[in-house]
């Protein structure tokens, strides 16, 4: 195994140049060149590119526990966690065994199966949804929830918040946080006015804006969709009472309240963010969406909610929704096994490890004089490269992206793979053991100094 750790004390100007150092990135570079020839940007999801931080994405060839190994043989402690799903860590032996056995029984039948039934039961048991429909991606989940909300209410307008990402659904691809923020798009060409024109975008955590929007458009609003706690502009929790206020405002206007827990579901807590907010404050969403952890690293996602609303879905009702691979037996076995293994101890461990990493990151950045702010939502957290609390996307956009790029590359050189964007949560897992935390702790001071050298020299988000 080649050590990824190299000199993280280099000139910040190298951040983004991918000066690979002695370890070298020859294999990743060669693979990326091949990928560029056949795939736009060389990646199958834009957030995987290093456009925000510069350099060549690492091609990962294997992963186990808290660690990734790349094509050049470098090992990294993983803080991407597949962008959320890997709550148990990579290649958990029991998940691998269950998936292998499921695959051996056949990979897809196009009929009802037991694992999809049991996964649906598990979701209904952990959340306030009464009925759930399984799909293959978070995007499909939110797209379907919105169609159902429109079908149920007979209204067209959808309200969302700037900086909340709900997948690449046409109607929701306005002011949509991390990927778009990283790539400086304000929405996307290809989304027709007719699709985005029925979407009202409001500042997060702004009650007055919500009240005004409902006063103006109330009778036309089918639903308001919000991340249960925002995680796609960095982690921005709702102000206390904000979700309950949204729920009450929707109810008062006959609109549906949709909470997107694709990222927070079974991650922020065992019952998602709802488990530490709605369950405590006494509100219930009309519809919810899930993904990531519930797929255990496979393509499985879901939307669900009140039985009377879900009854409008085909085949019971007229709102059409379908999928050849929906509820796929291998994917749902991975998700079901993951959820069953996600014991209270798992959440306690992830929370405790998070406290350690947050504290150490903050201490290192403070010692180096780098303006920063750490925020959490349940067990999720992120580090903003700017001072002071972040309550909405405008706040989040004030980050020093050059400082983050230098920090990111110094961490990478020292064997820690952060998400290549300043607008993402840092995902830990049950597999982040003492050794993994030590690698992170050892990397932080040098990375903080690299960030300090780069701070203020370039782009602000």
Ligand X SMILES: NCC(=O)CCC(=O)O
Ligand Y SMILES: Cc1ncc(COP(=O)(O)O)c(C=O)c1O
Give residues in contact with ligand X (CB under 6 A).
45, 47, 83, 165, 178-179, 232, 424
Can you tell me which of 139, 269, 337, 338 binds ligand Y, judged by CB under 6 A? 139
Q: Which stretch binds ligand Y (CB under 6 A): 242-250, 255-263, 320-328, 337-345?
A: 255-263
Q: Rounded to the nearest whole angstrom, what is the least distance from the CB of residue 262 to ligand Y in the complex?
A: 3
- Which run of H or E residues covers position 250? helix 242-252
Q: Which is nearer to ligand X, 232 or 397 (CB)?
A: 232
Q: Rounded to the nearest whole angstrom, what is the least distance from the CB of residue 424 to ligand X in the complex?
A: 5
In whole angstroms, what is the distance from residue 283 CA to residue 14 CA?
A: 49
358 catalytic residue (yes or no): no
Residue 144 binding partner per list ligand Y, ligand X, none, with a CB distance cut-off of 5 to 8 Å that depends on partner kind: none
Q: Is 93 exposed, middle or buried (0-12, 13-18, 19+ CB in 10 A)?
A: exposed
Q: Which is nearer to ligand Y, 292 or 409 (CB)?
A: 292
Phi, psi of 350 (to 5 degrees): -65, -40
Active-site choice (277, 292, 395, 413): 292
Q: How far is CA 194 from CA 133, 156, 170, 197, 321, in A?
A: 27, 11, 10, 5, 21
In whole angstroms, what is the distance from residue 406 CA to residue 8 CA?
A: 9
Residue 328 binding partner per list ligand X, ligand Y, none, with a CB distance cut-off of 5 to 8 Å that depends on partner kind: none
Phi, psi of 366 (to 5 degrees): -65, -45
Site string (140-179) toward ligand Y, x via CB under 6 A: --x----------------------xxx------------
Q: Which stretch binds ligand Y (CB under 6 A): 137-145, 241-249, 251-259, 448-456?
A: 137-145
Give the bridge partners for 78, in sequence order.
417
109 catalytic residue (yes or no): no
Residue 47 binding partner per list ligand Y, ligand X, none, with a CB distance cut-off of 5 to 8 Å that depends on partner kind: ligand X
In whole angstroms, what is the distance from residue 408 CA to residue 402 CA?
A: 10
Active-site choice (76, 165, 204, 423): 165
Q: Which structure tokens are listed for 208? A: 């007055």
165 catalytic residue (yes or no): yes
Handedness of CA 258, 290, 200, 461 (dihedral sign): positive
In whole angstroms, what is the distance from residue 282 CA to residue 200 CA?
A: 27
Q: Which is nearer to ligand Y, 138 or 297 (CB)?
A: 138
Q: Which is nearer to ligand X, 83 or 283 (CB)?
A: 83
- Note if the bond before 59 is cis, omega within 30 degrees: no
Q: Which is nearer to ligand X, 89 or 138 (CB)?
A: 138
Spatial strand order of the sheet with 287-290 comes to: 131-135, 301-305, 287-290, 256-261, 221-227, 157-161, 199-202
Residue 211 binding partner per list ligand X, ligand Y, none, with a CB distance cut-off of 5 to 8 Å that depends on partner kind: none
Contacts of 361 (CB under 8 A, 6+ apart): 372, 374, 383, 444, 448
Q: Which stretch binds ligand Y (CB under 6 A): 19-27, 131-139, 249-257, 331-339?
A: 131-139
Active-site choice (70, 78, 260, 400): 260
Q: Rounded to the nearest whole angstrom, what is the least distance from the CB of residue 353 to ligand Y in the complex?
A: 21
Q: Which is nearer to ligand Y, 375 or 402 (CB)?
A: 375
Can you tell me which of 260, 286, 400, 424 binds ligand Y, judged by CB under 6 A? 260
In whole angstroms, what is the distance from residue 320 CA to residue 243 CA?
A: 29
The contact set with ligand Y (CB under 6 A) reads 137-139, 142, 165-167, 227, 231-232, 260, 262-263, 291, 301
By annotation, the residues acting in catalysis are 165, 260, 292
């Amino acid at each position: 195994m080649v050590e990824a750790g190299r000199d993280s004390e280099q000139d910040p100007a190298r951040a983004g140049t991918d000066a690979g150092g002695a370890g070298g990135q020859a294999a990743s570079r060669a693979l990326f060149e091949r990928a560029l020839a056949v795939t736009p940007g060389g990646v199958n999801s834009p957030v995987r590119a290093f456009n925000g931080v510069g350099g060549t994405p690492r091609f990962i060839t294997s992963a186990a526990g808290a660690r990734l190994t790349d094509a050049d043989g470098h090992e990294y402690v993983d803080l991407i966690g597949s962008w959320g799903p890997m709550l148990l860590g990579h290649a958990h032996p029991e998940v691998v065994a269950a998936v292998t056995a499921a695959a051996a029984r056949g990979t897809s039948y196009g009929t009802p199966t037991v694992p999809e039934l049991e996964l649906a039961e598990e979701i209904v048991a952990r959340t306030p949804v009464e009925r759930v429909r399984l799909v293959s991606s978070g995007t499909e989940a939110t797209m379907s929830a919105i169609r159902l909300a429109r079908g149920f209410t007979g209204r067209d307008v959808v309200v969302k918040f700037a900086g909340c990402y709900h997948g690449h659904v046409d109607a929701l691809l306005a002011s949509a946080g991390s990927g778009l923020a990283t790539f400086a798009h304000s929405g996307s060409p290809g989304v027709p006015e007719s699709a985005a024109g029925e979407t009202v975008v409001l500042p997060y955590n702004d009650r007055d804006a919500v009240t005004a929007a409902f006063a103006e458009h109330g009778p036309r609003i089918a639903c308001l969709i919000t991340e249960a706690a925002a995680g796609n502009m960095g982690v921005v929790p709702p102000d206390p009472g904000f979700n309950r206020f949204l729920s009450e405002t929707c109810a008062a206007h006959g609109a549906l309240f949709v909470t997107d827990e694709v990222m927070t579901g079974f991650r922020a807590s065992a019952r998602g963010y709802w488990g530490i907010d709605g369950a405590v404050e006494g509100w219930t969403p009309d519809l919810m969406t899930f993904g990531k952890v519930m797929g255990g690293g496979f393509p499985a996602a879901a939307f669900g909610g009140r039985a009377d609303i879900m009854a409008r879905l085909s085949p019971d009702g007229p709102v059409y929704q379908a999928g050849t691979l929906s509820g796929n037996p291998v994917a749902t076995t991975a998700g079901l096994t993951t959820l069953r293994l996600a014991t209270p101890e798992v959440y306690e461990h992830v929370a405790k490890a998070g406290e350690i990493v947050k504290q150490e990151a903050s201490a290192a950045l403070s010692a180096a004089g780098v303006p920063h702010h750490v925020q959490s939502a349940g067990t999720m957290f992120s580090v903003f490269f700017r001072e002071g609390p972040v309550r909405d996307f405008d706040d989040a956009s004030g980050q020093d992206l050059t400082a983050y790029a230098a920090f990111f590359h110094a961490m990478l050189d020292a064997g820690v793979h952060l998400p290549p964007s300043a607008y993402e949560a840092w995902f830990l897992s049950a597999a982040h053991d003492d050794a993994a935390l030590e690698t992170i702790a050892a990397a932080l001071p040098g990375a903080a100094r690299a960030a300090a050298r780069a701070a203020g020299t370039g782009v602000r988000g």
